[in-house]
Amino acid sequence: MQSDLDTLSTLRDTTIALLDPSAAEAIPQGVERLMLASDKLPVVLAVVLIIWFGLLFLLFRTDRRITKIERELNATDSD
């Protein structure tokens, strides 16, 4: 069953490439094809976005804490 699907997919890709050579560049190849075929790509993108948002949150929170400590130090120095 899987080999039939692979054959049909290859046949479709070849047909698209023959009819429109510029569309051949848009056909996923290699790892991209594997990721899209098993719906892993959206999961990977979601995980990467969550990591970036987490890092940005930590950076923002650390900046606020440092600013608060700097204000306290400046207030005690001026007294």
| Mean pLDDT, the chain, integer | 80
Domain boundary assignment for the chain: 1-38, 41-79
* Confidence at 60, pLDDT banded by 50, 70, 90: very high
From the CA atom positions of the chain, what is the Rg in Å? Answer: 26
Q: Is the confidence at residue 29, as pLDDT, over 60? A: yes
pLDDT of 43 higher than 90: no
Instruction: Copy the structure tokens of residue 75.
Output: 């207030």
Q: Are 43 and 34 in contact (CB under 8 A)?
A: no
Q: Which two tokens stand for residue 30?
A: 């290699």
**Model confidence at 41: pLDDT above 90:** no
Determine what percent of the chain is predicted with pLDDT higher than 90.
38
Q: Using CA atoms, how far apart are residues 29 and 23, in angstroms rounded to an integer?
A: 13
Q: Does the predicted TM-score (pTM) go above 0.75?
A: no
